[in-house]
């Protein structure tokens, strides 16, 4: 969490109008469900540990915080039979983005996963 807070704060210092810290929680309940196919996710002990770990302490007050959770309930390939959800813990505040940051972003090449245009 400490490194995530540091990265989110550094991203905000670049000058972007919005910055978020995204936390991904993957829960393997196969050993916890005693043979039941349950999609309930973490038990109360694990949930309380996750809640304590996801503290926004040290996070720039303008940075948002999002938690995504995936639950693996049975012996199947990951994400084939699972459940997932997100929790918006804190909305990022909008701040003015400097023109030079916008121009820098416009000059970046398109994402690698997009097919070339033209």
Burial class (CB in 10 A: 0-12, 13-18, 19+), 72: buried
Question: So where are the chain's domains?
Answer: 2-107
* pLDDT per residue as tens digits for the range 48-57: 888 888 888 8
Confirm whether pTM is higher than 0.75.
no
pLDDT tens-digit series, residues 15-59 = 999 999 999 988 777 666 666 666 666 778 888 888 888 888 899
Q: Could you give the CA distance from residue 17 to residue 94 in angstroms, rounded to a whole number?
A: 5
- Residues 40 and 54 sit within 8 Å (Cβ to Cβ): no
Name the DSSP class of 116.
Answer: P
Return d(Cα 90, Cα 64) in angstroms, integer: 5
């Amino acid at each position: 969490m400490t490194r995530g807070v540091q990265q989110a704060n550094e991203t905000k210092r670049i000058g972007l109008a919005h910055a978020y810290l995204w936390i991904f929680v993957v829960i393997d309940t196969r050993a916890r469900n005693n043979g039941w196919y349950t999609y309930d996710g973490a038990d109360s002990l694990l949930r309380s540990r996750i809640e304590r770990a996801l503290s926004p302490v040290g996070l720039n007050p303008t940075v948002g915080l999002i938690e995504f959770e995936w639950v693996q309930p049975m012996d199947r390939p990951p994400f084939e039979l699972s459940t997932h959800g997100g929790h918006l813990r804190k909305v990022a505040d909008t701040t003015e983005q400097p023109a030079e940051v916008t121009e820098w972003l416009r000059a970046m090449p398109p994402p690698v996963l997009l097919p070339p245009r033209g």
